[in-house]
Amino acid sequence: MTLLPRSLGGQLLALLLAALILAQAVTVIVFTDDRANAIRQADRGGVIEGIASVTRLLALSPADRRAELADAASTRRIRYWVSSEASVAASGDRPAIPSGPLGRMFGVPLREPPRLELLGTDDKPVPFRPLGKFWHRFGEEGPPPPMERFDVRASVPFDDGTWLNAETRLRAEPVGWPWPTILSTVLTALAIAAVIAFTTRRATRPLAAIAERAEAFGRGATPADLPEKGPTEVRRLTAAFNRMQDRLGRFIADRTRMLAAIGHDLRTPITSLKLRAELLDDDEARTKMLATLDDMERMSEATLAFAREDATAEPVRTVDLDALIGSLADDLSEMGKDVRFAEGSRVPYPCRPTALRRALSNLVDNAIRYGERARIALASGPAGPVITVDDDGPGIPDAQMNEVFKPFVRLEQSRSRETGGSGLGLSIARSIILSHGGELVLTNREGGGLRATVKLPADGKPS
């Protein structure tokens, strides 16, 4: 199951926002790290300047008071003390303060360059032990305890052979939330959302219209051409769809006119042949010939009916399916046919009533003709109404279940010529049901017989 939205606009918006947030997060991380590094570098420079200031002060003070003054200059962040030894050993591994601008910062004569030791030069935080109390401020004797860890340690020589030692830890100020960056990200996201919503709506609205027209066209409607709007690609798609719809419409109309013409033109020669057959002296030959002509006439009438059904544009009306099926069952029962239907609650449904009644009539006629009786049932659910017609006939072999929907196809092994029929009943019924957006399915029942199931769409919008 994907976490992306289902719509094109939602997916595009989600991907762009994810990319924006990721880019801004990387920017904030880099900015925060650079800022912390800059603050630490500035702190180191400030520490060295502070050491230089204390050095100048002590150099101008009497030698016997330097230790006291150094202790007084100590704070919780930096500790000063005067001793005869340098806390920073003279080693090539420890950098000395250069004699250039940084060295001139001390401003007093020194017998040798000050020594500087830096820890945490990889710009990572350095753990430390809190200094606690300063002895000189609480009357305790002895020098302040040395720091367990420090960032900067310096030793500055005086001319009397003593050293001013200093050690401190650098404490970068905490970096707060980058509210300007966050606000910029939010405003950018809102702008992107607005642009994506406008763009996708402009692009997908014609696509939705094409989908609706394709569905309507598949149900047998002949809707007008779609206006060519939107981006170039969508315009090309709309134009191609309009051309396809026009070509298919002309093809269907030509086929319908051809069937109607064939069915109509066959009437005259069939009638002529019937008149000539009546003049035959051979009774047996005359009877067989008239029977064949009757079959041809029924096929011709069925062909005309099939063509008329394709060409008919009956208006859509909302009717009660329960009442429509009940009236059909009552009419057939009055004609002496075994038809049963248990009427239930009302099922209002928009459809073409005459066409739908004809489709159901064909299914019931087939059930009676080949299965002796018909039992009709109507059920209504969230997916739409479902109508079933059951019979007690021999059924249809599974391998030939789809063949019976083809025009003029009759399965002789189960449905003899004597029972009548031209082989167009199921074709007409399925054509009508498909034009309503529904589906006609034939299945063999377990106890014997055939079941015809009509599934109509819940939206009830036939074309």
CA distances from 325 to 195, 344, 389, 405 (A): 53, 11, 11, 22
Helices 179-218 and 232-265 pack at an angle, to 10 degrees, of: 10
Under DSSP, is residue 301 helix (H, G, I), strand (E, B) or coil?
A: helix
Residue 424 DSSP label: -
Whether the CA torsion 257, 259, 265, 271 is positive or negative: it is negative
Measured in degrees and rounded to the nearest 5, phi and psi for residue 83 equal -145, 170
Contact 36, 172 (CB under 8 A): yes
Name the DSSP letter for residue 130.
-
Give how far the C-alpha of residue 299 lies from the chain's centroid of Cα atoms, to the nearest Å. Answer: 51
Nearest alpha carbon to residue 454 among 435, 443, 431, 438? 438
Q: In whole angstroms, what is the distance from residue 338 CA to residue 190 CA? A: 69
Q: What is the pLDDT along the chain (463 residues), one digit of tens a residue?
A: 466 677 777 777 788 888 888 887 787 777 777 766 676 666 667 777 888 888 888 888 888 888 888 888 888 778 889 988 888 876 655 444 544 444 555 666 676 777 777 665 444 433 333 333 333 333 344 444 554 455 778 888 888 888 888 888 765 555 566 677 778 878 888 888 888 888 777 777 888 888 888 877 766 666 678 888 777 888 888 888 888 888 877 777 777 777 777 777 777 788 888 888 888 888 888 888 888 888 777 777 766 766 666 555 677 888 999 999 999 999 999 888 999 998 888 889 988 888 889 899 989 988 898 888 899 999 988 888 999 999 988 888 888 887 787 766 666 544 444 544 556 778 888 888 888 888 899 999 887 889 999 999 886 655 4
Question: Position of tokens 């040798």?
Answer: 112
384-390/374-381 β-pairing = antiparallel
